[in-house]
A and B are shown apart, each in its own frame.
Chain A
Amino acid sequence: MSAATPAASTPDGGSPSATSAPVPDSSKDVSSNADQLILEYLRARGLKTAEKAFLEELERKTSTADDKGKQPETPTSTTVSQEELVKQLAIFAQKPANPDQNALKDSSSVLQELSSTGTPQNIQNLISSIGQVGAEEILSLDPTDKHEGFRELESWVDGSLDMYRPEFRPILFPIFCHFYLDLVQQGLREAAQDFYTTFSSSLSTIHYSTLNHLSTITLPYHVQTDEVAQRFRTEKYTVRMSRSGFGLLVGWLTEGVGGEPVGSGEGFAGEKGRRGRAAVMRVVNNHLRFEVTSSATSSVSPRSWEESTGFLSSVVPQTNGSTTDATAFNQAKGDLKLGPAPIPEDLRTETERTLQDQAMVDHDPGARYDLHFARQAPPPGLVSPTLAELPPHPPMFKAIDVKREVEKIRDMRKRIRLDPTLLNSSGNSNANATTAQGAAARARALPSICAYTFHDVGEGVPCCEFSPDTSLLAAGFSESYIRLWSLKGEKLKGLRSDFQSNSIRDSSSLNKIREKDGSTTRKLIGHSGPVYSVSFDPVGGSATSPRYLLSASADATARLWSLDTMTNVVAYRGHQNPVWDVKWSPMGIYFATASRDRTARLWSTDRTSALRIYAGHLSDVNAVGFHPNSLYLGTASSDCTARLWDVQRGACVRVFYKHDDIVSTLTFSPDGRYLATAGEDLAIRLWDLGSGKCVKKMTGHTASIYSLAFSAESSLLVSGGADWTVRCWDVKAAGGSRTKTRENGTLTNGATEEHPPEKEETESNETTDLLATFPTKRTPVINVQFTPRNLCLVAGPYLSPETR
């Protein structure tokens, strides 16, 4: 980073502060012209209060200008040349390389610089009287400086023009955190608490969890050991700004003016204000990093300013260059092969032959079209991997593989087609089921949902899953066991334990040693902690019932269960901490786990140690998921990001930045283009895998989202959560918040029409791509799944009102 300016690293390399130096009061005529323009602008926009404040400000400015005229001994230069500005800034950026050191450490140079830039006389006296102790002590030890400095900064931000405010607001949070930590570090506990209570409320909407965490840090020792605090201390917090916005900020920091700080400019005339400002400056220099974009302020949505801030440098892996931007990283990683996985040629011919044979004898007239479905062209725009690029699989295919492929093609033909675009394109409101036409569109757009409700669960059901052929339902319980149900009413029989292995010759002798009596449910016992995830093996597909089940638990193991014997076959140890999630790869054999130890791991069923470890997340990995072609692995983490890894190389290839809170679940679209993630910020985000960019954000849930599922055509997303609802989202629609369309007066979506204004206010966080909401009776929906034929299955435990 260059030492010349407060951390401006523009992509084009030019120094923004030099080119966009603020001209606060270059000459009175010019400024009054500008003032006139601003006044007219404010009037045109009808901003009465702003106009009034601005007028007051003008008056004050003229009076101060008069004062300046009377006091020749304070030669505040009315014109700031570029060189001078750079020189002024330079003193604050003396040693930015060492974050622990203060820019004002070298007191002699500080004194010299300060005197040269024309500080008021009393400051000079003060500094000279202190002598070698240094200005830092004054700056750092007086807690009121920080208080004052932050107050000034906040009022400056809030007083800035509407177009700049979203840009400036993100800098409040890191500065707040640093001030608070500084105060704690210095042992000024009361001052820190006072500071916290005064200023935290305005920041708490987004940074709730971090603030809550910080509030408990009250001792210097905690600052040194706490992880969050140390991240603030040692890492640069990246803030994105437009060039003009950054110029205004620099102007304010150096001069106390710029960006028209309504009602706050005066505070900085005093000595205290200057010291407070210097405290802000210190944080800006040492702990912040500015990404100055060349795009105009208005072209960026207000929200995205906030979203591109944070500890980008650590969240985004460092590659060859010093790219800290997630988009730059994603671009640097090149293109991905997102097309469907190829099928071995011999398997394909065998499948087609079987289909042909069956079409002859099948009574179903549709069966003869199966071949047509089998030869569908891959989706355009996606590169398919070759067979050699897939993770290694056995060269020979088995009968079950043929069955699976045949059934897959049949499912494709028999599938209920869901087309949510019908709802929007027809111009009908999406909830309008009153007309026959609307109801028909609804029926074609929205799925049928079958809900499975668990009763009498004790401590809770952390997970459950339906087998791909919907013959089995497995649920993991907090009481450390897994329960298996047959959904078809068949008896689940294990094997007796008292048999001789040499007596088994064929399937009939195997059947003899099956247990005589069984029930339709079965308990699998083996874990010693809550079971957080279960997964059925996908080899049988929708043709036959699965033979294996994987489970992950708080006892740091993943276990493989044979559904033939109904026993535990393997325990995979390796994680040091609870395993949160486990998923089979789309073609079996391999599976991935996600753990609290901040890694995801790849395993194959025949080895008890991990094949790959995917490390890089800064916090728990909450969920894993394979890309449909099994080349990539997605992970969702508590560090507010999701990542995409190359399964075989073990390298991170995409970073999806960022959610406002931890990311709890994720799912890939079956067509391989998109990733959907959901987090504790109650939003679902849709990411384009190719570019790594956020396609859209879908909001509407009012509590944690537990599960996501795409329909087979990837056109519909279904989510279930702790707010006891199942919601359906249109993947292709543009989305956007509902109130916005109303504000513009253009009712682009019919949905807004039917919502009376009072309803609108309460549900303003619902985006327009929310197609339907299906509430349940006190049942948090912990799993949503689509069958291959597009029937939606959801499951959750019923919470009786008495128990809790």
Chain B
Amino acid sequence: MSKQAPKARHAPAKVPGIYKTDSVRDVSESLNIINLSDIVASALASDVEYRIQQVVEEAARFMRHAKRTTLTTGDIDQALRVLNIEPLYGHFPYNPPTFRRALPFPQMQAAGPVYFIEDEEIEFDRVLREEKVTLPKGVTWTAHWLAVEGVQPLIPENPPAVPREIDPESAAAKHTSNASGSIFPPTPPSSDRPSPLQPAKQQPQQHIAVKQVLSSELQLYYARLTSSLLPPTSDFSKRTAALASLRHDAGLSPLLPYLVRWVGQGVVDALRSGSQNENDGRVLEVLLDVIGALLDNQTLGVEPYLHQLLPSIFSILLHSALPPSHAAQLRTTAAHILSHLLTHYSTTYPGLSTRIVKTLIVGLIGEGKSRSTREGAIRGLMGIGKEAVRQGLVKHQGAKIVGDECMPGESSSLVELVVEGFKLIHPPSLHPTPLNPDSGADASVIEELRAKLGNFFAERLIGDSAWARGILSDDAPDA
């Protein structure tokens, strides 16, 4: 008997009272009937449940005839109509109400969770201002061959072929002819097949792995390339040859995802160790070169992988603890690569430059960043250009923050870098004339300098009135 049953349906577990007596009592209290006896409440609850079931059974008919498997509020509406009950207004299948859970009442622990329908308040002004809602384009149809003379064609409109059960002989034959697997279309496994009844059966069909096959030549090339690039095994000439190959050779695009991942992994490994030894510095240098080479290669099409490359560049640029011997060099190279990347791809990705600048500025002015990070950020900004430097140093008061951290009269690489940045914003005059704190105009400039750049750098600029004015005035149109 159960053999014939198409599916193992379980009896609906009889939960005594889905509709609780408490709910009945709540309703009665809202109607000012305070003392409802238990018997009445439970009888009412049972009755309500029975009536709900009646409505649902009726609605299920409408669902079936609408050839759907999901019951909608529309079905309930129809059911209420034929049962001659006032319909429930305000429920549309297009816009199902969201139920939100209310905060528990602290004074009434026993109340249980309360749900309410979210009733969004819509401002009249906003409705008027908002664009008109565009109509959906309407129902359309497409036609395709589901079967041609009893064989389902392997086209995208049809679901991917089910691996057919083939008898052992032909399976063996398939294996020897080395053609197995190729008969399946390369379409990715479509989203879940239906059949809630047979999930176990359908499951194996899902995982038809689509394998991207790398040719053995490319695999060999990859192995050689990575080994020759990394310092322990490499000599200089080999490395330049490898980089040159990366920079100019066509046909490496299948390797690109692997190379990008290798670079990312290498950077993370080198930085994580944090030992700051020479070797790490060299590894990072090579990796940066690799990134540069990849970006230089016109045949690769790096665009889709930029989001994977950027973190590596930023890590090197902004990392706090680079090996000291290579730090300046690394940051400069990274800044160069960044600027290179921007000039090439900012047109294809409109938001790219703003995103990069934002990241760098955060690195520059962020609280608790180390000096080296700030240095890297300034270098990066300088690599990007004049406007970016102004944004960082003047507008976002990067200079002021850096200056506050410096000892008065200090002359470190960071300070020099900031001054470099200033020079980039506006070249210093050849014959500097100091600002005169006594004259009214000059005094206001000094005030502004101190406000925007901080005392430290204001002192530096005070000796060159044209320069200071230049920095501040060029800032004006921006602000």
Contacts and interface: CB of A to CB of B under 8 A. Distances in A.
A561 interface: no
A330 to B, nearest CB: 24
Given A448-B147, A596-B61, A219 B141 contact: no
A449 B148 CA distance: 6
Contacts, number: 239
A777 B159 contact: yes
A439 B151 contact: yes
B191 interface: yes
Contact of B139 (A462, A477, A778): A477
11 contacts: A216-B53, A449-B145, A450-B146, A453-B141, A454-B140, A458-B94, A475-B139, A485-B141, A724-B195, A776-B159, A777-B158
A759 B149 contact: no
B10 interface: yes
A585 B56 CA distance: 34
A427 B274 CA distance: 73
Interface string A545-583: 000000000100000000000000000000001101000
A693 interface: no
A455 B277 CA distance: 62
A454 B11 contact: no
B66 A478 contact: yes
A3 B150 CA distance: 61
B162 interface: yes
Contacts of B142: 452-453, 455
Given A453-B157, A554-B78, A754 B166 contact: yes
Given A169-B1, A456-B136, A475-B139, A442 B165 contact: no
B478 interface: no
The 3 A-B residue pairs with the shortest CB-CB distance, nearest first, are: A446-B150, A204-B11, A443-B149
B93 interface: yes
A622 interface: yes
Nearest to A225: B50
A753 B5 CA distance: 23
A755 interface: yes
Contacts of A782: 67
Interface of B: 1-14, 16, 43, 46-47, 49-50, 53-54, 57, 61-62, 64-70, 72, 74, 78, 82, 93-94, 136-152, 157-159, 162, 164-167, 170, 190-198, 200-201
A166 B82 contact: no
A762 interface: yes
A456 B140 contact: yes
Given A213-B57, A215-B12, A775-B158, 11 more contacts: A203-B11, A205-B2, A222-B46, A306-B1, A433-B151, A434-B170, A450-B145, A724-B195, A737-B3, A762-B201, A775-B159
Task: Name the residue in A217, A218, A458 with the highest tally of chain B Cβ atoms < 10 Å from its Cβ.
Answer: A218
B64 A755 contact: no
A29 B152 CA distance: 69
Interface in A458-485: 458-463, 473, 475, 477-478, 483, 485
B62 A213 contact: no
Interface in A683-715: 683, 699, 702-704, 706
A765 B7 CA distance: 9
A375 interface: no
Contact of B67 (A433, A463, A739): A463
Given A306-B1, A532-B66, A765 B6 contact: yes
B147 A447 contact: yes
A219 B50 contact: yes
B11 A211 contact: yes
Contact of B50 (A217, A306, A461, A622): A217
Given A211-B12, A453-B157, A737-B4, A724 B193 contact: yes
A457 B139 contact: yes
Contacts of A206: 1, 5
Contacts of B201: 759, 762-763
Nearest to A200: B11
B138 A456 contact: yes
A42 interface: no
Nearest to B192: A801
B171 to A, nearest CB: 10
A690 B204 CA distance: 46
A772 B150 CA distance: 8
Contacts of A780: 67, 69
Contacts of A723: 194-195, 197
Given A169-B1, A452-B141, A702-B195, A447 B150 contact: yes
Nearest to A221: B47
A454 B191 contact: no
A488 interface: no
A466 to B, nearest CB: 11
B9 A205 contact: yes
Nearest to B147: A449
A448 B148 contact: yes
Contacts of B150: 433, 442-443, 445-448, 728, 771-772
Given A448-B145, A596-B61, A723-B195, A754 B14 contact: no
Interface stretch (A96-104, A189-197, A348-356, A390-398): A189-197
A543 interface: no
Contacts of A204: 9-12
A702 B6 CA distance: 8
Contacts of A699: 4, 6
B67 A755 contact: no
B230 to A, nearest CB: 45
